[in-house]
Structure 1
């Protein structure tokens, strides 16, 4: 047999081996949809939850990402994007497919990248509407996950799905089990103590003290308050997210206030939290909210129970530590042994290739 024939034979065997390793599998996504996917996925469009994808699938899972909704990372969390791209510059080379909420998501671009699967957040899937049919007609499977709901069930399910897509089922189960243990043990302490429900208010502090921004009803931070047995003062007024009338906030007399912020708050007077944020700056921005009209009479302000929390650490498998922080803030006597911010950083050290520095939780006591 000549060298050319041997080469062709070996090439054919290599292709056959690759096909043999591929396995068509039915995935039940968080919406109960049964989706047939070739696993482990070789060409992935990643819509959201990039850090979860890396933590669960390992950094090598990025090698199979052929498109990304870049604005959900670079646009919403630029400091995090910079942290990762400084470590791995090739992230900048992944094609951008646009963002659903901004109506820039390009179906044509997605199809041109020939993905083997598209991984979307529930809100992205719902936002695409009839465009979902165009993608499915092109033979592209769509798998839906959801960390935004902030429920234990969907967090665990989403983690297992990412594990299956990346071939990291064992690692995914370990992360899911750790998350479940943290949430259940936290809830058990609260249940056993039988303490009064603290009236709680949370606001995304992106507009500064002069203007009320949105709060949450039954998702994201609102869902966490509800899960922890708190009395979420937004519940009667806001279903998912939206602003409350300032008079309603004052009349509700919250015992605990959480103000969420990101790195973008470093300019202006918004709440500043996250990567690269100095703790003194974060605390100073929190203190500014005490000067809001009527807030000096609010129980939360009078008792030094106004807290800052990192918005970027919500809607992710990394948020177990933020659940702990909210629990500790709502029921201080029950969680004196827990250091939530250290727990947050420890997750990075264990499962991610970078570790952020900055301020991710804060409190003003005076």
Structure 2
């Protein structure tokens, strides 16, 4: 009887181990934003972020510790969004110790380093796809069992953001969190779109000055996507909609003067890592709003803007550039809607929405500074 019990116990242990190994080896097949079917062992435990700013969603999925699955990431967050980088590193010091990568598009992604980190998945932004294909990165990593999954919060955010959120949520085993965030995002956008449907609108003409002051070029802007589409959703007319065929492009100063926009919106961030002491407007969490306002006013002395309606009437604003590359676009839509139609959205408070986003989904406390505005010239 004793031997029989021991045999039964061993059989039970073997069975448990088999179940454990089967569970550990479970795979899921997902369709990424490039339309590719990709098989991944999930939930993933070791992740490489092909762009550091993917942390904006990872932080919501792994709110207790956004660093816990990340074994490497691109080095862009500290340069493109140093204010948030500092806040995240202060709370989660491990982030500062992670191996970093250069950009795929720039040809400085270290494939050998990626392989040594043994990730369960590498998330790449869709705009890197051409460079990835030219370098045959997918084939190289696939040969050692590392899948590549494309996500997108920038090229076509209103087509791909929800898909990307569901995709990452599924692979992280955090589907419920992702769906809750998606529903919240949709509800907050509807607070603008539903009210606009009931209103009789005069749609102001809006010039979005993308990364104004980042370079001497005047002026980068958006076509019918990203901030360009945010303007349209918020009840405005995007000046560059018919001038830029893709998501990103340039509008000539003469075209701005001729169009005479009613509203100017400059996107900005603290970009000392890229352009030390530049004319860019350093908005973001905890930003110096007085300094940002000073730099915004200085940008309006450029020939493209000095005489336009927006500057004369004080309808000039700056907003955090990274709304264009995160699941948080709904807050930007609310801010823009309030600027374009202050009477219709008198009771809408985008700052309160941003604070609620942090309280409900993010591990950091909200700090104001994501936008500033000028006043009318006397």
- Tell me the TM-score normalised to structure 1 length: 0.89
Q: Within the alignment, does 1:348 sit opposite 2:358 as a pair?
A: yes
Tell me the residue number matched to 1:165: 171
Shift of 1:309: 0.3
Are 1:361 and 2:371 matched, yes or no?
Answer: yes
CA deviation after TM superposition for structure 1 residue 365, in Å:
1.6
State which of 61, 69, 73 in structure 2 corresponds to 1:68: 73
User: Which ranges of structure 2 fall in alignment gaps of 5 or more residues?
Assistant: 4-8
Aligned-residue offset at 1:324: 0.7
Structure with the higher fraction of residues in helix conformation: 1
Moved more, 272-281 or 249-258: 272-281
Structure 1 residues 193 and 150: alpha-carbon distance in aligned structure 2, compared to 1, 3 A threshold: farther
Q: Aligned equivalents of 2:259 and 2:344: distance in 1?
A: 25
In the TM superposition, 1:87-236 aligns within 5 A as: 87-129=91-133, 130-207=136-213, 211-236=217-242
Between 355-364 and 84-93, the greater mean CA deviation after superposition: 355-364
- Kept after mapping to 2: 8 A contact 1:67/1:94: yes
Deviations 1:71-127 (A, max 9, x none): 221221122111111111111222223222332111222122221111121112333
Report the Cα distance in structure 1 between the residues aligned to 2:107 and 2:81, rounded to whole angstroms.
19
- Cα distance in 2, alignment partners of residues 228 and 149 from structure 1: 19
1:211 deviates by: 5.0
When residues 88 and 11 of structure 1 are mapped into structure 2, their CA distance, relative to the original with a 3 A threshold, is farther
Q: Please report how far the alpha carbon of residue 210 of structure 1 lies from its aligned counterpart in structure 2 after TM superposition.
A: 6.6
Note the alpha carbon deviations across 1:9-65, whole angstroms, 9 max, x for none.
Answer: 979956852542542111122222211111101221112311211112334453222
SS of the residue corresponding to residue 103 of structure 1 reads coil
In 2, Cα distance between equivalents of 1:73 and 1:221: 20
Match of 1:300 in 2: 310
| Contact residue 65 and residue 92 of structure 2 kept, 8 A | no
Alignment deviations for residues 163-205 of structure 1 (CA, whole Å, 9 cap, x no partner): 1111111111000001111223311222221412221111134
Per the normalisation by structure 2, the TM-score is 0.87
The alpha-carbon distance between structure 1 residues 106 and 230, as it changes in their structure 2 partners (threshold 3 A), is same
Number of the residue aligned with 2:6: none
1:312 positional shift: 2.1
SS in 2 for 1:307: strand
The answer to whether the aligner puts 1:285 opposite 2:295 as a matched pair is: yes
Q: Equivalents in 2 of 1:13, 1:180: separation in Å?
A: 43
Partners of 2:127 and 2:243 lie apart in 1 by 22
TM-aligned CA distance change 1:12 to 1:62, over 3 Å: farther
| 8 A contact 1:121–1:145 mirrored in 2 | yes
Report Cα offsets for 1:236-295 as digits up to 9, x if no partner: 322222221111111011111101110226934321211332221122122223322363
The answer (yes or no) to whether the contact 1:100–1:124 under 8 Å persists in 2 is: yes
SS in 2 for 1:119: strand
Pair 1:77–1:61, CA change in 2 (3 A): closer
Unpaired runs of 5+ in structure 1? Answer: none
Q: What is the SS of the residue equivalent to 1:362?
A: strand
